[in-house]
Structure formats: C-alpha cells, structure tokens
Amino acid sequence: MLSAIEQTSKLLKIARSSKVPVAHVRFATEMQGDDIGTFAVKVPTLKRLSPDSKDAQFVESVRPIKGEWVSTKRHGSAFFGTNLAAWLTFIGVDTLFITGCTTSGCVRASTIDASAYGLRPMVVTDCVGDRAEGPHRANLFDMEQKYADLVTSKQVVAYFKALKNQ
C-alpha cells in the first residue's frame, strides 16, 4: 500500500498544479462507533477511529490543503452521508479519478456510488491498495467490467498536463 500512497502523492501534486478540483474523504466515528451502525459490528476496530485518532488522520503526503473539499464519512463510500455528489454537481465535475484504500471496500463502494450518480469513475490502479493482492485484483477486474475505467497514474498525469496546455 505504501507504493499506492507514493503514487497518489505524485498525482496529487500534478492535479494541484493543473488546477483540477480535489476532494478528500476520511473515515472517522463519533460515540465509540454508535454512529456507524452495523459497520461497527462487522469491523469492530473502526470504533477506535475517532476524529482525533492518529489512525483517522490523512497521511502527511496526501494531506488536504486550503481550498480542497474535505469530508468525514462514516461508511465505505465517499458519497454515503456526505455532500460530495452535491459539490461535484455544483462545480460541474463529470469524471472522477479515484485513489485510496481499500480497493475491495471504500474504493469499490465509492466507485459504484459515483457511477450511480451519473459520474464517470476512473480508478487509478497504482494509487489504490488492499490488505491482500487477491481481493485487490478481483475488485479491479469487477469494477472495470461494470462501473469504471481503469487507468494508471501515468495516464492521468498525461491527461492533466494536456489540460494545462489548453
């Protein structure tokens, strides 16, 4: 997963210099997990992720900067219980480049919801990761078949650079 974070950090720098809108979403729970329902039953360790918890913070190299959209979610999808879809609609975004972890959980849930909202999800394959390679690969395969296009950070960087030159 370290490689995915490193690649995401590089991609984020290019996105910022290209003036592409950037959204960040993290998971945190209040009330020792009572606000995340059955998610806490399936994954009890999530109950420890309070907003101030060290493990609920953004990794330094991909930390949001002023002017970027930031939200806290309480389930797998970046859309569920947040105003991400409203913000994207308001600023006229129709395509998402999705990075993060885990591929089989939050990335997949966010990709499916992006598709359901009529957005075009692009999963950046070298900027996502999972606990194990099997679920990672299987979920990338399935998302490509049904919900998203798979791209590499190199392809996205080329796209961002082309935007800058327009």
* Cβ proximity of 2 and 148 under 8 Å: no
C-alpha 87: how far from its chain's center?
Answer: 15
**Tens-digit pLDDT profile for residues 101-121:** 999 999 999 999 999 999 999
Q: Report the C-alpha gap between 43 and 34 in whole angstroms.
A: 13
Residues linked to residue 123 through DSSP beta bridges, in sequence order: 98, 150
The tally of domains found in the chain comes to 1
Q: What are phi and psi of 95, to 5 degrees?
A: -130, 135
Residue 116 CB coordination number (10 Å): 13
**Residue 111 belongs to domain spanning:** 2-164
Task: Please give the pLDDT value at position 2.
Answer: 60
Task: Please give the pLDDT value at position 26.
Answer: 97
**Tens-digit pLDDT profile for residues 119-145:** 999 999 999 999 999 999 999 999 999
Distances (CA, A) of 144 to 34, 65, 108, 123: 34, 31, 11, 9
Which long-range contacts link 77-82 to residues 24+ away (Cβ below 8 Å)?
A: 77/106, 77/109, 77/110, 77/112, 77/113, 78/23, 78/25, 78/106, 78/109, 78/110, 78/113, 79/110, 79/113, 79/114, 79/117, 80/109, 80/113, 82/25
This prediction has a pTM of: 0.94
Q: Report the C-alpha gap between 128 and 62 in whole angstroms.
A: 13
Residues recognised as catalytic:
106
For residue 67, give the CATH number of its domain.
3.40.50.850
Could you list the mean pLDDT of each consecutive 10-residue stretch along the chain, which spans 166 residues? 88 95 97 91 94 95 97 97 97 97 97 98 97 97 98 96 83
